[in-house]
């Protein structure tokens, strides 16, 4: 029987229900790489996130690396995760394009709202220098009702 438990990491990346049986896993050092199993995935999942890689960084939280397998980015991801991680922030997505490098940061809600306390929400989009991916070119605050 299939595992009916939902996969919260992938559900945060799309507008579909995603179940654990639709996800393939592989180990990459201290991390886990997860992708969608094309044979098991629903049409909704295939249409929205097929080819997406989630890196469960240090087996703690997910970083979306898009269509690029994390093994090609692990050194940069480790550097960026270390640079931007605090008690309340963490790296959540990374994109490398020909003319721009973009990361997304999540921030932990520290208010006392009973449904939101302790949950992480998209917070900033950071544009990095193309030549030195640790140098920030600009930062855009994500507008949400949480902040």
Same-domain status, 137 and 111: yes
CA atoms of 137 and 33, how far apart (whole Å): 29
The whole-angstrom separation of Cα 45 and Cα 116 is 26
Task: State whether 33 and 6 are in the same domain.
Answer: yes
Residue that terminates a domain, selected from 48, 66, 84: 66
The number of domains in the chain is 2
Could you tell me which of 54, 64, 66 has the C-alpha nearest to residue 28? 54
Range of 110's domain? 73-147
Q: What is the pLDDT along the chain (147 residues), one digit of tens a residue?
A: 566 899 999 999 999 999 999 999 999 999 999 999 999 999 999 999 999 999 999 999 999 999 999 998 899 999 999 999 999 999 999 998 777 889 999 998 877 766 777 788 889 999 998 877 778 888 888 876 654
Reported pTM: 0.86
Residues 6 and 53 occupy one common structural domain:
yes
Task: Please name every residue paired with 128 in a beta bridge, in sequence order, or none if there are none.
Answer: 101, 136
Asked if residue 100 and residue 82 are part of one domain, the reply reads yes
28: tokens are: 């990459």
Looking at the structure, tell me whether residues 95 and 133 fall in a common domain: yes
């Amino acid at each position: 029987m299939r595992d009916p438990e939902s996969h919260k990491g992938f559900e945060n990346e799309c507008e579909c229900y995603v179940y654990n049986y639709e996800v393939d896993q592989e180990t990459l050092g201290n991390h886990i790489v997860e992708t969608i199993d094309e044979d098991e995935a629903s049409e909704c999942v295939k249409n929205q996130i097929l080819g997406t890689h989630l890196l469960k960084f240090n087996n703690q939280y997910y970083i979306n690396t898009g269509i690029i397998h994390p093994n090609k980015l692990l050194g940069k991801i480790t550097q960026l995760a270390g640079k931007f991680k605090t008690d309340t922030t963490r790296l959540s997505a990374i994109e490398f394009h020909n003319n721009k490098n973009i990361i997304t940061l999540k921030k932990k809600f520290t208010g006392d709202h009973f449904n939101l306390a302790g949950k992480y929400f998209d917070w900033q989009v950071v544009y990095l220098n193309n030549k030195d991916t640790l140098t920030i070119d600009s930062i855009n605050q994500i507008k949400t009702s949480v902040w």
